[in-house]
Chains A and B, each alone.
Chain A
Amino acid sequence: MSAAAELSKADDRELVSFRVGGQDFCVDIMSVREIRGWTPATVLPHAPSYILGVINLRGAVVPIVDLAARMGLEPIRPDARHVIVICVVDNQTVGFLVDAVSDILSVKRSLIQPTPAVSSDVTRAFFEGVIAIDQRMLRLIDIEAVLPPIAARQERA
């Protein structure tokens, strides 16, 4: 985003909201590349339980994270009704499996509240904050924090 655009939008954030395990979450629209239906993934050995495997996204091998499992909720049993939100952060492409995408909304920065201290520190690190909208609570996910750690990269560095 250009500096000027940044300035004019400084007060607003565009977010994509979705439902996972009966709760509302959202991510910054800047990191969302596309939204697609569920396709069966190829299982990765020795992977954490929240990694469902990898799918073929137009020739790229993209890992799929069960966002529910990642958040400590009941793992999703994926079927055709589920949706994958493809995100790109730092050139790493990852798909997040969610129950359904709800909306795209524009939220004033000032409305983003710090994450309440109810959850464990680990889980809390997944969120940038929470937003109250229409008597719902939207949990704003910090994509980088929920990305699966790239083990080999750290090993090889």
Chain B
Amino acid sequence: MLTILAIDDSRTIREMLRETLRNAGFDVHVAVDGLDGLEKLHDIAPDVIITDINMPRLDGFGVIEAVRAGTSHAALPILVLTTESAPDLKERARKSGATGWIVKPFDDAKLVSAIKRIAAH
């Protein structure tokens, strides 16, 4: 089973992610902001990270940069959650090292298919 760490400062979005991903058969853990996510990274050792961009304490770009700069999870697939799909968002997400992106409000099937495109299942 794929283990997913979902990072979002909105409880609503966290619960939606949790529900959608659980129903898709993933093991889901959540973190409330970037720092929380990085703190949990080691214990959870996820197969995929899904992260919001705009968060207190540490934003999504910060999470990606920290993960990529580290040693143990540097190649971890990371999906960015964003409220908008726009070409230069993709560029920026990609430049910071994001594996892919999901546009909120996300469609359950699209989210699951996006995960399947970046991780073994």
A and B touch in the complex (CB under 8 A): no
A residues contacting B by CB (< 8 A) are none
B residues contacting A by CB (< 8 A) are none
